[in-house]
Chain A
Amino acid sequence: MLVCLVLCGKLTAVDAAPLCTNAQAGCHVLSLANLFDRVIQHSARMHGISNDLHSEFELYFLPSKNQIGRVSRNCHTSSILTPNGKENAQRMAREELTEVILKLLVAWRDPLWHFHQSMAHHHDFNNFSSNKSLEMSDMVHELRKGVQKVVEKMQMLGIISNSVSNLASPEALLASDSAEWRLMKDYDLLYCFRRDSNKVQNYLKILKCRIVPEHGC
């Protein structure tokens, strides 16, 4: 890591910096824009799956139209402060935004895993839904790692400070990640996750167009 920082510190171009720190053989040199595109695509897919599952839930388990009770639905991630508008998101610093993304992704790792477990035992769901829940659970995990790589690259390039990585550690989040999500029902969980995956995707796009705007922004 230090060696790479020394070697790559002199580089000014965003795209030319290699990603692999240990100079592994066969390691492709990816640009930051390329990395961003990959994570964004990943998050888009994740959101698509969550959307499908949510629609399925609405189909089979039609919730009561009584909206009164549903207003008080509370996602366990509501404690995380997320920008609710474009101006708010643009006003937010890159590090903050990155932190929010990482927090969201970390917060959903365990709940999705348990959701998948409950889905597997639920006889009302077909195998297609069960596979989707598993895929969704894996995707959150992969996306988090991808975003962490992006963060590392950005920190390497000096785009953002090093304060972000500290927040990505699971230990720091365990305290805040209480067992609130265990109280959520499956349908609410899917609802919340669908929203949060959309947030992640949107925040990543904002980050990309802010940092590497020349590619498709």
Chain B
Amino acid sequence: MMKKFGEVILLLLLLLLFFVPHAEGTRYSLPGKPALTRCRSPEKETFTCWWEPGSDGGLPTTYALYYRKENSEMVYECPDYHTAGKNSCFFNKNDTSIWVNYNITVVASNALGSTFSDPVDIDVVYIVKPNPPEKVAVTVMEDKGWPFLRVSWEPPHKADTRSGWITLIYELRVKLDGENEWEMHLAGQQKMFNIFSLRSGGRYLVQVRCKPDHGFWSEWSSASHIKVPDYFHRERSVWILITVFFAFIFLIVSWCIHINSHSLKHCILPPVPGPKIRGFDKQLLKNGKSEDIFSALVVSDFPPTSSSNYEDLLVEYLEVYIPEEQELILEESKDLHDGCLKPKGSTFDSDSGRGSCDSHTLLMDKCGEAKDDEQQTDRDGSQTGSEAQRQQAAWEQEALTYAHEDMISPDMSSGRVKTWPSVFSPLPQYSLSPLSQPSSLETAKQHCLSDSLFPPASLSSYLTQPGQSTKEALRSSYSDFCSSNKQPHLLHPQPDARHHLQAHSDVNISSIGHKEAPAGLQLPTVQSTEYVEVHTVNEDDMVLLHPVPSGHSHGKGCLQMHQGEDYSKVNGVDKNNVLLLQRDVIEEQVDMCPCENQDMNGATESCCTSAQKSIPCIHTTLPVQEEKAVNGYVDTATMFPLPIH
């Protein structure tokens, strides 16, 4: 019985032992291992260490910090556990050594025991974390009208930067109120900073912090608020100015363009040159009648289709145009032949008296250009025989035409026949071509031509009524003269020749004048006038003249007296364009007119005529016919077939 009772009690005790501790729920243990979290020094003169306690083990635990300095075995306990708060240890200046390695350990102890933390080595130099900068001031300042922020601050009062113990560098950050992004600025060691590019009317926040050379950044200072004043109106005024300026510039440019619109248009879009075909009527083209256009271009009369109808080619009056150069004569003749065959008709226009090429009714440009070109080429002196012949023919035709022309004075009312002097009147009356001012040479040419065509005998007969036998003489002499004109030398008549001819003309004038007096025409009497006839043209382009038998007019001018004489040399030209001839003696035998008769009568004429026949005129044929135009001219058409020497 007792045994059983003892076993039950033992079991109960064992159970109690088991359960009693569980019923209590706590268990005393050593305190947990503390850990030093950080140690910091704000000014490199003092420092503080904080630790984290572990579990306390159910019992009140105490913490102690022990440190050991470098190269020393002495263990010191923390001098100040309270200044820095709970679980901290504050080392004051006396206990702090810089550049000394501290070995710090925290010990947690309770009733059961103590627990050591892991030791930490620190050097105060490298654990410096200063306080934030103090007295941060932000102000708005202006730089030439543009605002900026000026931030100024001071180092934390504990940090001794003045003695050089600590060197701090600063950093600040700015942001607009309400935004999330900060704008960082590193300020270095300076204690003042400017912030530009501000938004007008913006509200900004500014913060500053600092750091020693080798240490930790401080905390940010408390935010300083600042409001930037509005300068929007200033910007607007600038834009207004710019707009006005550009509008002004635009107005000026548009005005300039408007002023110069014409020239600009001309420059950018040059006008398309129109057709320059003479006789081409643009109006017809615009009207769309192509037939009319092209018909206008066609010269109906060119080329001459009916060459037999010479009457069409008859020109009532011609205008003699004597170019300055002798070579031009031929060109002119050729041009006239080519281009002046258009019947001028009876229309008397203002072009009369001028060169045919200057008449507007002809293809003027063509004439003039061709003439100029040919003048140029001929000046080179290259003349072929065929060309010479052509030119001779042209010359002849021209001469004939000129003859007609000469015989007709501008005054047609008095009929075809005109007084000789009027023909040979001073050049102004002649109404020459305005293009070529009549020079002495031109005059000479005119007279030459006229003279060549009308030997004195013929002239005289011309003056008289047509139909007489003198006509024949006229013709013959005419032809003679004409043929003589065909001499190639005449192609390049020299001034001497012209003078000769002119002298001849003068003589004729005088003789005619004399001759006409008996004919009833009132002519100035010329005292000593002789008719000379072109005998030959020698190599020197000198026209050798023969005194015509005096049957025509002046007996004085009978060649008998001038036997062996020729008037082929010009003494001079007086100012009235009168050639002064010079007598020369030649060996040629000339049949003189036996009659020395100063009277103009048929006998003399006949005599001369006969004499003329024996004259070794350089001609072969007398194809001159009695044909006369209605107006009493020698039909030039009949002259065409004259042979060319």
Binding site for B on A (CB under 8 A): 44, 47, 51, 67, 70-74, 78, 82, 84-87, 89-90, 195, 198-199, 201-202, 205-210, 213, 216-217
Contact = CB atoms under 8 A, between A and B. Distances in A.
Nearest to B68: A71
B627 interface: no
Interface string B396-413: 000000000000000000
B158 to A, nearest CB: 12
A217 B164 contact: yes
A85 B97 contact: yes
B213 interface: yes
The A interface is mostly helix, strand or loop, or mixed, namely helix
B160 A71 contact: no
Interface string B92-120: 01001111110100000000000000010
A201 B101 CA distance: 19
Given A71-B70, A82-B99, A85-B45, A206 B189 contact: no
B71 A72 contact: yes
Task: Using C-beta atoms within 8 Å of the partner chain, give the interface range for chain B.
Answer: 20 to 34
B216 to A, nearest CB: 15
Nearest to A206: B164
Contacts of B96: 85
Contact of A199 (B99, B163, B167): B99
Contact of A84 (B98, B119, B162): B98
A84 B214 contact: no
B121 A87 contact: no
Interface in B264-289: none
Nearest to B160: A86
A209 B103 contact: no
Contacts of A199: 99
B164 A208 contact: yes
Contacts of A195: 99, 123, 125
B164 A205 contact: yes
Given A85-B45, A85-B98, A198-B125, A67 B103 contact: yes
A31 to B, nearest CB: 17
A144 to B, nearest CB: 20
Nearest to A67: B119
Given A67-B119, A71-B68, A209-B163, 16 more contacts: A47-B214, A70-B121, A71-B71, A73-B71, A73-B101, A84-B100, A85-B45, A89-B165, A90-B163, A195-B99, A198-B125, A201-B213, A206-B165, A209-B162, A210-B163, A217-B164
Contacts of A86: 44-45, 98, 160, 163, 165
Nearest to A207: B164
20 contacts: A44-B213, A70-B121, A71-B68, A71-B71, A82-B99, A84-B97, A84-B99, A85-B45, A86-B163, A90-B163, A195-B125, A198-B99, A198-B214, A199-B99, A201-B213, A202-B165, A205-B164, A205-B167, A206-B164, A209-B163
B213 to A, nearest CB: 7
- Ranked nearest first, the 9 interchain pairs of A and B with the lowest CB-CB distance are A209-B164, A205-B164, A84-B97, A86-B165, A206-B164, A67-B119, A84-B98, A195-B99, A209-B163
Nearest to B69: A71
A9 to B, nearest CB: 28
B161 interface: yes
Contacts of A47: 214
A44 B164 CA distance: 14
Contacts of B98: 84-86
Interface of B: 44-45, 68, 70-71, 93, 96-101, 103, 119, 121, 123, 125, 160-165, 167, 189, 213-214
Contacts of A67: 103, 119, 121
Given A71-B70, A195-B99, A209-B162, A85 B93 contact: yes
Counting chain A CB atoms within 10 Å of each CB, the highest count among B45, B70, B98, B103 belongs to: B98
A118 to B, nearest CB: 24
Looking at chain B's contact residues, the main secondary structure is loop
A73 B70 contact: yes
Nearest to A208: B164
A72 to B, nearest CB: 7
Max count, chain B CB within 10 A of own CB: residue among A86, A199, A201: A86
Nearest to B161: A217
A187 to B, nearest CB: 14
B160 to A, nearest CB: 7
A42 to B, nearest CB: 14
B117 to A, nearest CB: 12
Given A198-B99, A198-B125, A206 B68 contact: no
Pick the most buried of B119, B161, B165: most chain A CB atoms within 10 A of its CB. B165
Contacts of B167: 205
Contacts of B68: 71
A85 B163 CA distance: 13
B435 to A, nearest CB: 92
Nearest to A48: B214
A87 B44 CA distance: 12
A64 B70 CA distance: 17
A202 B99 CA distance: 11
A95 B189 CA distance: 28
A216 B189 contact: yes
Contacts of B214: 47, 51, 198
Nearest to A70: B121
Given A86-B160, A209-B162, A217-B163, A78 B71 contact: yes
B436 to A, nearest CB: 94
B169 to A, nearest CB: 12
Nearest to A82: B99
Contacts of B119: 67
Nearest to B94: A85
A87 B167 CA distance: 17
Contacts of A82: 99
Contacts of A78: 71
A100 to B, nearest CB: 12
A78 B96 CA distance: 18
A37 B164 CA distance: 12
Nearest to B121: A67
A50 B160 CA distance: 25
Given A67-B103, A198-B214, A206 B163 contact: yes
Contacts of A217: 161-164
B488 to A, nearest CB: 104
A90 B121 CA distance: 27
A189 to B, nearest CB: 15
B49 to A, nearest CB: 16
A34 to B, nearest CB: 16
B392 to A, nearest CB: 106
Given A71-B71, A72-B71, A78-B71, A210 B164 contact: yes
Nearest to B118: A65
A195 B71 CA distance: 15
Contacts of A216: 189
B135 to A, nearest CB: 19
A87 B93 contact: yes
B79 to A, nearest CB: 16
Contacts of A44: 213
A44 B119 CA distance: 30
A72 B101 CA distance: 11
Nearest to A199: B99
